[in-house]
Amino acid sequence: MPKPARLLLLITFLLITGCSHTSLLSKQDYQKSQDQFLQGNADDAYLSFPRGAETGNFITTVEKAYLNLIQGKAQTKQLQQQVEILENRVRYHVTREAKTFFYLQTPEDYYASEHEVIWLHLLLSWAYSLQGQNDNACVEARQASSLLSLPWSPAGHFDDPTLRLFLAGLWSMCGEWREAQVDFRAAWYMDNTLTWALELANRVQPPASLIIVLGGPGPEVSWNPELNFNPLRSSRQVSFKLRGQRSALYISDNNKRPLTTHLSPDARKWYERHLERESELHELILDSAFGGKATTSGAIASTKIAAKTGLGILAGIGGAALGIVIADAGLKSGSDDLVRNGLIISAAGITWGWEIISDGYRSSVKEFKQDVDPSSEYRYVRYLPEYLWLAWSEQPLNFPVTLSTSAGSRVTLQNPSVAGRTSVTIAFIPDATMSYYGRAKQTNTHNKL
């Protein structure tokens, strides 16, 4: 086969494969749902959730479960299916620095992050507690605890104080205060500023009421490429920006009795760990369905740049050659004008060739950025809290309970989530800045369903 035909076939193949992942949900697909979520409208966020693509996959299952749970709606079937599907898919990877990551490859070829895998079990425990299935709730809490306590290098395995605090709340929900004490103590051990967590860990008896408020709408991801030298090697360089304000939270019950609230650390380290792990799994991810588009688009961009460069070189050489011929003719005939014009044409030819190369490079890189910008189709669980507030009371609370933040958010809780030995209530406030959700009023009422 002639070389031009082979090149045409290669480019056609790359273009076809480059379009093969159109079924992935993009940032734009989530926009309507995210707008509602940022305003605290979980029900509308769920109704606006993108349909069709990725239905039943790990990411969308976890996201929709969270949107339901913060409304008090427990749907365990889909979450349990994910747990069963992924039960035997945990793999291990050790870095050169002796840090140990666990990763989970889903059937759809997504490499779930450590905090996302743990979050799956936390959600299922929460859902089972809302359904009154305390034994199953405790089983899932134990699974999450196991993943947070894997016996690897203390400096290397994944653990987190905020996840521990939430897990302690779930242990309280399913009636296991002793287990809750363990996780409160673990949170304090990782962050000694959490003296209030140590206070809870040292309590022999649980408080009468416990309120956990999940805050922050989850981070926004953006592309952070280093384009100075080789833009085609930077396709997965992204950064995560947390959007929650970590506002002061005020809680009072129907008797106007105030509760002291305590704020956890934020989820920044989850995403630092995520990016570090992504770097270690770089080759695996590029080989996956979710990473293939970057490689293909990079190859297309490289082909375009090479073609434009070749054209520019030809133009430059041709223009320079023509100018030299004219200048030479001028020298032979003694015409200063011909010599001057020949030199001008030669210089213009070189300049024109360089402009073709530069314009081709810029346009190809621009197209490449638009096509492969990973912030548009970067795979991660969007609907996650960034931190939590925790409060407790020695006496049962008189509902409804009002939550309000210093930033102006207001939420009314009509009933506790679970009324057991300890009445445990889980709520959500997006607590996002005005730049993210405009001037929409951030008001919502939670009813126990």
**What is the length of the chain?**
449
What are the start-end ranges of the H helices in 224-291? 268-280, 282-286
Tell me which range, 1-10, 244-253, 278-287, 311-320, is most confidently predicted by mean pLDDT: 244-253
What is the pLDDT at residue 434?
Answer: 59
Q: Report yes or no: 436 and 217 within 8 Å, Cβ to Cβ.
A: yes
Q: Please provide residue 344's backbone torsions phi and psi, each rounded to the nearest 5 degrees.
A: -65, -45
How does 209-236 read in b/e, with b if 16+ C-beta sit within 10 Å?
Answer: bbbbbbbbbbbbbebebeeeeebbebbb
E-state strands within 137-230 = 209-215, 220-223
Least confident of 22-26, 95-99, 190-194: 95-99
For all residues of the chain together, what is the average pLDDT?
A: 79
Q: Could you count the other beta carbons within 10 Å of the beta carbon of residue 240?
A: 21
**Which helix H or strand E contains 410, and what residues bound it?**
strand 410-413
- d(Cα 383, Cα 380) in Å, to the nearest integer? 9
Stretch among 272-286, 297-311, 359-373, 427-441 having the lowest mean pLDDT: 297-311
> Ranked by mean pLDDT, which of 78-92, 136-150, 212-226, 289-303 comes out on top?
136-150
Using DSSP bridges, classify how beta strands 111-112 and 100-105 pair: parallel, antiparallel or unpaired: antiparallel
* Amino acid 370: pLDDT: 56
Say if residue 394 is exposed, middle or buried (CB neighbours under 10 Å; 0-12, 13-18, 19+).
Answer: exposed
Residue 65 to residue 127: CA distance in whole angstroms: 9
Of the two residues 301 and 390, the one the predictor is more confident about is 390
What is the per-residue pLDDT for 376? Answer: 80
User: What's the confidence (pLDDT) of residue 347?
Assistant: 65
Is residue 52 very low, low, confident or very high in pLDDT (cuts 50, 70, 90)?
Answer: confident
- Number of Cβ within 10 Å of residue 25's Cβ equals 21
Return the pLDDT at 126: 98
The answer, yes or no, to whether residue 166 has pLDDT greater than 70, is yes
CA 398 – CA 392 distance, rounded (Å) = 13
Angle at 208 between CA 207 and CA 213, to 5 degrees: 80
Q: How far apart are CA 24 and CA 326, in angstroms?
A: 58
Inform me whether the pLDDT recorded for 231 exceeds 60: no
pTM over 0.85: no
180: which 2 tokens? 């809750």
Reported as a pLDDT band with limits 50, 70 and 90, residue 24 is confident
Q: How far apart are CA 185 and CA 183, in angstroms?
A: 5
Q: Tell whether the model's pLDDT for residue 407 goes beyond 70.
A: yes
